[in-house]
Amino acid sequence: MNLKMSLPEYLDNASTTPVDSRVKEAMLPYFDEIFGNASSNHIYGKQAKEAVEKARKQVASIINADADEIIFTSGATEAINLGIKGYWESHREKGNHIVTVKTEHKAVLETCKYLETLGVEVTYLGVDENGLISIDELGESIRPDTILISVMYVNNEIGVIQDIPKIGEIARENDMAFFCDATQAIGKIPVDVVNDNIDMLCMSAHKFNGPKGVGALYLKRGIDISPQIHGGGQEKGLRGGTYSTPLIVGMGESARIALEGSDSRGASMRHERDKWATYFEDEGLGVVNFKNTSTAPHILSIQLSQDAEDFLMANASKIAASTGSACNTAIVEPSHVLKTVGKEAGKTIRISF
C-alpha cells in the first residue's frame, strides 16, 4: 500500500518554488517530441530554436528589456560570474575597482573575493540596522578607477529592498556599469531595467515557479563582457554549450505567468506575510524584523524568543522554513547578512511565500 506522507506547510519559497503545472506542461514536448538541437539547421533544430527565441522574449518582457539583451545561463550564480568577471576582463584597462555590499549573496561576494586574488580592489559597503546602504557612502566610495557597482535588488535572507534606481543613476553619472542581483525580485515586485538604470541583471527560473538549472543574464545592448564558458558560440559567443530547450521553455513560461499575474501574486504573498507576522507576535513566539523599511512581499524575517534551530526542529511536522540562505547551508558559521545588520543569527528565521 502506498501511503502519502503528511508534509508540513512549505514556507521556504525564497530557497526554491514548486514548478507551476502550466510550466511543466509547456516543457514536456521538448523532451521527446521537439527534441532537436537548437543550434542545428534542419527542421528539428529550427523548431527548438523557435522555442528558445520565444522564451527569450518572454523573459525579456518581465524586466522591460529587449529579447536580444537576454543571455540564458544555468542560473543566477552563473549569470553573476559571467557578468562581473566578464565585465572586469573586458574593461580592466579602464579601471580596477569594484564596489559592492557586505550583505550580497555569496555568489557575488565569492566572485569578488576571487577577483581580489587577481589584483582587483573591492570596496564592501556596510548597511544600517534596516539592511540598507548609505547612498552618500556609495558616492564617497567611487574612485577614478571604479568600473562597476554591484548591489542586489531584494536581499535573499531579510527581504529588504535597496534604492536601485538611485544606485543605477549614480553609476550612470559616473560612467560605470551597474550590476544588479534581482534573483529575489523577479516575479515578486516590478523590475524595469530602463527605469531602474540597470546595465546587467541576473535571475533564476526556480525562484518564480520555473525549473531549476536555468537562469539568465540581462546584458544591456552596448555593454561588452568576456565569456566565461567557451564552446560553440551560443548566446552571442558568451555562453557556449548545447541549449537546454525544455528548461529554457519552462523559464519563458514561468516569466509569462509571473508577469500576467503579478498583481494577484503580490496581494497573495502580502496576505500570507501579514498572517504569519500576526501569528508569531500574537503568540509571543517572536517579533518581525525590518518593519520600518521597504521589504519584498514574499520574505518575512522573525527574531524568535528561542533558538532558531530548536524552534524549526520542534515544529518540523508543521512548517518547513529556514534560518537563512539555502546556499549557505554547507557553511557552519552565522549568517553574514544577519551579522552585518546586527541581528542575532541563532534566533532568526526566514519564512517565505
- Segment 249-265 shows an average pLDDT of 95
Mean pLDDT computed over 156-164: 98
With 90 as the cut, is the pLDDT of residue 205 above it?
yes
Query: Which CATH number is associated with domain 262-352?
Result: 3.90.1150.10
For the ranges 77-91, 258-272, 315-329, the lowest mean pLDDT is seen at: 315-329
| Cβ–Cβ < 8 Å for 106, 82 | no
**270, amino acid identity:** R
Those residues with Cβ within 8 angstroms of residue 28's Cβ, 6 or more apart along the chain or in another chain = 246
The 10s digit of each residue's pLDDT in 39-51 is 999 999 999 999 9
| Residue 334's pLDDT band (cuts 50, 70, 90) | confident
User: In the predicted model, is pLDDT for residue 64 greater than 70?
Assistant: yes
The pLDDT confidence band at residue 1, using thresholds 50, 70 and 90, is: very low
Instruction: Report whether 66 contacts 261 (CB < 8 A).
Output: no
Query: What distance in Å separates the CA atoms of residue 174 and residue 192, rounded to the nearest whole number?
Result: 21
Closest of 55, 111, 118, 103 to residue 83, by C-alpha: 111
What DSSP assignment string belongs to 72-88? EESSHHHHHHHHHHHHH
Q: What pLDDT, in 10s, does the model give residues 273-310?
A: 999 999 999 999 999 999 999 999 999 999 999 999 99
Contact between 246 and 30 under an 8 Å Cβ cutoff? The reply is yes
Residue 263 confidence (pLDDT): 87
**112 has catalytic annotation:** no
Residue closest to 148 by CA, chosen among 105, 215, 200, 204: 200
**Residue predicted with more confidence, 261 or 133:** 133
Residue 5 has pLDDT above 70, yes or no: no
- Cell numbers for 214, please give them: 536555468
CATH of 25-260, one of 1.10.510.10, 3.40.640.10, 1.10.10.10, 2.60.40.1180: 3.40.640.10
Confidence of residue 6 (pLDDT cuts 50, 70, 90): confident
What's the number of CA atoms in the CB half-sphere (13 Å) around residue 316?
Answer: 4
Mean pLDDT of 30-40: 97
* Dist CA 241 CA 237 (whole Å): 10
pLDDT score of 330:
52
Average pLDDT, the chain: 95
Domain boundaries, the chain: 25-260, 262-352
Contacts of 215 (CB under 8 A, 6+ apart): 72, 73, 74, 75, 76, 77, 78, 79, 202, 203, 204, 205, 251
H or E element that contains 351: strand 348-352
Distance CA 311, CA 305 (A): 9
Q: Taking the model in full, what pTM does it have?
A: 0.95
pLDDT score, position 2: 45
